[in-house]
Amino acid sequence: MKILTKILIKRFLFYFFVLNGIFSLIVISSQMLSLPSVFYHINIFRFLESLILINLSFFKLQLLFSFGIAFLLLGISIRENREIYAIYSSGISKSFFRKIIITLSILVAVFSALVSFYIVPKANRERTKFITVNVKKYFLDAIQPKNFKNLPGNYIIYISKKNKNNMKDILIYNKKTGYLITAQNAILNGNYLTLLNGIVQIPSKEGFSVLKYEKYIFNLEIEYLKSYSFKDFELKNLLALTKSNIKEEKLKAISVIFERIGYIIPFFFLGIIGFFLGISISKEKDFLLAVFLTILIIYISINYYLIKLIQKGSLNPLLYIFIITVILFSISHYLYKKN
């Protein structure tokens, strides 16, 4: 029994990790097509960091599909290899499989809670911050000597010489306000330019005024900000919003919290569904995979619809948990008894 248990667990883990690897490659390769062009100009380590953050952003679906399909493939493999008949003939019942599946399901469900409540929201926030910082940095680093450079927003900048972050003979023009700033020397530090020995020309109705300075710290703020959505808020912020007087904010926060809770529930049932679908129906692997994916996609669609109802205030969140639990339990119970 112990040997058989180890074999089944090892085979499940093999399918699980291979599927996660395949899904990661698919996600990364598909998302690379839509990356901002500036990402191809950053150094290799920051580029790899961006790919990791992208993969983590989609990890919830990866984990869900990998977990279910791994159990499906495990069931198919022991049926196709006729191992299931040898196991049953030795007196081992299907409750033996159920015990293994439930144990693995609980372990992965605990991990899925960490993924749902912390890892993915944190990755999305970091990805947003990463994109914002690196796009800004790209535009500032792209300033080249003896060229007029249009920056996002309203700025035009010109420099005669540049040595890393040190610049000489600077001209900055704000197209919106008409302000013109010049300097003999400047040092770039993030979004800030420390300007030395120059003038500021301020337009007015009567003409313009000129101010002379020796040192002036200028905020060359690039107007680029990629914001993250409500669903990526920290749990403590979401809990605070549930007490908001603004009904729309309150309902959104509640829907996000229960979506994160609801994500954990399928892990208690998908193992049973996948495994017993694999061993109980004598069909080709492709057909069973299509059936399982259909079940999963329909469930995800129903789940998405119910979350939207919570967001609108049309569905009690506790009723949402009850509905998805009944749906998954009914399918898993049917396949378990059918076998």
For 261, how many CA atoms within 13 A lie in the half-sphere containing its CB? Answer: 16
Banded pLDDT at 191 (limits 50, 70, 90)? low
The per-residue DSSP string of 73-113 comes to: HHHHHHHHTTHHHHHHHTT--HHHHHHHHHHHHHHHHHHHH
Q: What is the mean pLDDT of residues 154-178?
A: 82
Cα-Cα-Cα-Cα torsion 313, 318, 321, 327, nearest 10 degrees, comes to -90
Q: What is the mean pLDDT of residues 44-53?
A: 76
φ/ψ region of 178 (left if φ > 0, alpha if ψ in -120 to 50, else beta) reads left
For 75, how many CA atoms within 13 A lie in the half-sphere containing its CB? Answer: 33
Banded pLDDT at 187 (limits 50, 70, 90)? confident
Question: For residue 35, how many other CB atoms are within 10 A of its CB?
Answer: 14
Average pLDDT, the chain: 84
Residue in the block written with tokens 């609801």: 262
Q: Give the dihedral sign, CA 222/224/230/232.
A: negative
pLDDT at residue 41 greater than cutoff 50: yes
Question: Hey, which of 44-53, 121-130, 298-307 has the most confident mean pLDDT?
Answer: 298-307
Q: What is the mean pLDDT of residues 126-147?
A: 69
Cα–Cα nearest to 178, from 143, 148, 209 = 209
- Does residue 151 sit in helix, strand or coil? strand
**What gap in Å lies between CA 173 and CA 189, rounded to an integer?**
19
pLDDT, one tens digit per residue, over 223-263 is: 544 555 677 888 888 888 888 888 888 899 899 999 999 99
- pTM equals 0.72
**What gap in Å lies between CA 134 and CA 121, rounded to an integer?**
20
**What gap in Å lies between CA 200 and CA 119, rounded to an integer?**
48
Q: What is the mean pLDDT of residues 50-69?
A: 88
Q: Say if residue 312 is exposed, middle or buried (CB neighbours under 10 Å; 0-12, 13-18, 19+).
A: exposed
- Can you list the alpha helix ranges (DSSP code H) found in the chain? 2-32, 44-57, 59-80, 83-89, 94-114, 120-141, 235-241, 247-264, 270-280, 285-312, 317-338
pLDDT, one tens digit per residue, over 82-104 is: 777 777 777 777 788 889 999 99
